[in-house]
Amino acid sequence: MLTAAATARNILPEMKDRSAGIVVKGSRFAPSNFIGLMGITMHFERGAEIVAEEDPAEYVYQVISGTVRTCKLLSNGRRQIGAFLMEGDYFGMEARAVHCFAAEAITDATIHMINRNTAFAAAGRDPEIARALWDITARSLDACQQHSLLLGRKTALEKIGSFLTEMAERQGSHAEIDLPMSRQDIADYLGLTIETVSRTMTQLECAGTIALPTSRHVLVKRRQELARLSAC
Amino acid sequence: MLTAAATARNILPEMKDRSAGIVVKGSRFAPSNFIGLMGITMHFERGAEIVAEEDPAEYVYQVISGTVRTCKLLSNGRRQIGAFLMEGDYFGMEARAVHCFAAEAITDATIHMINRNTAFAAAGRDPEIARALWDITARSLDACQQHSLLLGRKTALEKIGSFLTEMAERQGSHAEIDLPMSRQDIADYLGLTIETVSRTMTQLECAGTIALPTSRHVLVKRRQELARLSAC
DNA sequence: CGGCTCCTTGACATCGCTCAAGTGTAGTGG
DNA sequence: CCACTACACTTGAGCGATGTCAAGGAGCCG
């Protein structure tokens, strides 16, 4: 299957290094809105690969709707998910010429793609764009650093606690969480197995900290308790 | 004890937002050399704290000589080391207004400090500086992503294998490694305990993969084997 | 209803942690 | 040069959190 970058290369050969490609007006999602003014928007079905590992890093991506995971496989099939990306989040803004992480749509997703060279060229002319590109990268770094802490030094219970707290915050709802990702995705994000994720969620439900009306729908009963478990 | 940022605030109150402070000529260490042209150089003794957690993020730091660790403490005293920084490496270039990780000198170290506002102001005038700042951040991100993979999905043996391979590469020597950091530092970097680090090193020595003339000096006997163990 | 896929649960194994000695090794002072 | 101390590192024994393997349940869709 063709990845998004490969597809866009066919659609937009003439876009390279021009500062304005197909214009998408009034994007609400860019940290500074002008970044949303260049590039194209594409739709991906649940499960579709947006970026493959080792794809040339030609684009920066912003999630307009849906949820995306970035992931990397190790030799023996183990998988690490680097991040879950939701409305407004950027990905693919990395130092290397090829992407180290693949990106896949967890749900149907709308993604805005900006040519990297175009973005860097625009940054060369406009300091605000340069600063916006730096912000995107620095935010990814911040998220990655927090995640390292979790992976290196937290117990299964603390990992799940942190994860649910993070998801609640990102959804702007403190009592109700919708999980677009599977238990396996959560496990690969937290460095656990699917069984441990499942057991720990059950444990939190038994303790009355959360309720699980369905496996993808979490009600936070004792928010304080969950925050305490995060052990930051 | 006063951290470096606090000290520099006293030394250099007049520097803020001026593009050239105390000039250090001919720095060989910046990715683009002009970044090395602003700021001051300070010396730190082994064990000194350069940045404290939650310090305001006023400076960007570059290691001129010596080794530095960035670290963060969790509630119950557990510690995660985010990175080991050596000659030429930058740290403190983060998204937030306060530093999330402390930085401490592992050996006596010479550090070049650049005022962040000064750097960003210069970036607003010179696209090459803006690009250099982005590069620094993107490199940190790359290192952090690789490290997440290690923390989340590698066994103790693979972690030690990856660590030794990384150190060998960074020292430009493929047969001999000098470890400036303690076993506890290595443990906190890899998400292990000191005992497991020690045991795993011994195990590699018994297997003939490495030799340990002293605990801080590693001879790589079978580089291929070590690389295979890294499981990337 | 059958056949998916995803999730949960149980029994057991194991890797890495905890606790507790014991062994260097470097530095200090006599 | 030799004690003495302090600190870093190693090693052993036992345990426990998490992984592995296997079975079964729940929801979904044709």
Helix axes B156-170, B183-190, angle to 10 degrees: 110
Q: Identify the CA nearest to A42 among candidates A16, A63, A17, A14.
A: A63
Distance A2 CA to D24 C1' (A): 39
Query: What was the pLDDT predicted at A13?
Result: 35
Q: Given this model, what pLDDT does residue B105 score?
A: 97
Could you check whether A4-151 and A154-230 share the same CATH topology?
no
What does each C-alpha distance from B147 to A93, A149, A172 come to in angstroms?
A: 17, 11, 29
Nearest residue to A91 via CA among A72, A69, A73, A110: A69
By the 10 Å C-beta count (0-12 exposed, 13-18 middle, 19+ buried), A44 is classed as buried
pLDDT in tens, B81-102: 999 999 999 999 999 999 999 9
Reading the block at residue B64, the tokens are 């001129």
Is some CB atom of chain A closer than 8 A to the CB atom of B32?
no
Higher pLDDT, A37 or A104: A104
Identify the CATH number of the domain defined by range A4-151.
2.60.120.10
- Reduced to 3 states (helix: H, G, I; strand: E, B; else coil), residue A211 is strand
Residues 84-113 of A with CB under 8 A from B: 93-96, 100-101
Q: Compute the distance between CA of residue A43 and CA of residue A50 in angstroms, rounded to an integer.
A: 10
A137 touches chain B (CB under 8 A): yes
Q: Is the pLDDT of residue A42 over 80?
A: yes
Residue A125 and residue B120: Cβ atoms within 8 Å? no
Span B126-151, average pLDDT:
96
> Which ranges of B171-230 would DSSP assign to H, the alpha helix?
183-190, 194-206, 223-230
Contact across the interface for A131 and B135, Cβ inside 8 Å: no
Q: What are the backbone angles phi and psi of residue A140, rounded to the nearest 5°?
A: -60, -40
pLDDT band at A35 (very low <50, low <70, confident <90, very high): low
Confidence (pLDDT) at B210: 96
In the prediction, which pLDDT does A4 show? 57
At the topology level, CATH places domain A154-230 in Arc Repressor Mutant, subunit A (1.10.10)
Q: Is A107 exposed, middle or buried (0-12, 13-18, 19+ CB in 10 A)?
A: middle
Residue A112 · residue A27 · CB < 8 Å? yes
- For β-strands A217-220 and A176-178, DSSP reports them as antiparallel
Average pLDDT in the A119-124 region?
94
**DSSP class per residue in B102-113:** EEEESSSEEEEE
| Gyration radius from chain B CA atoms | 19
A212 touches strand D (CB under 7 A): no
Domain boundaries, chain A: 4-151, 154-230
Least confident of A85-99, B16-30, B82-96, B145-159: B16-30
> How far apart are alpha carbons A146 and B202 in whole angstroms?
32
**Average pLDDT for residues A140-155, to the nearest whole number?**
97
Tell whether the model's pLDDT for residue A219 goes beyond 60. Answer: yes
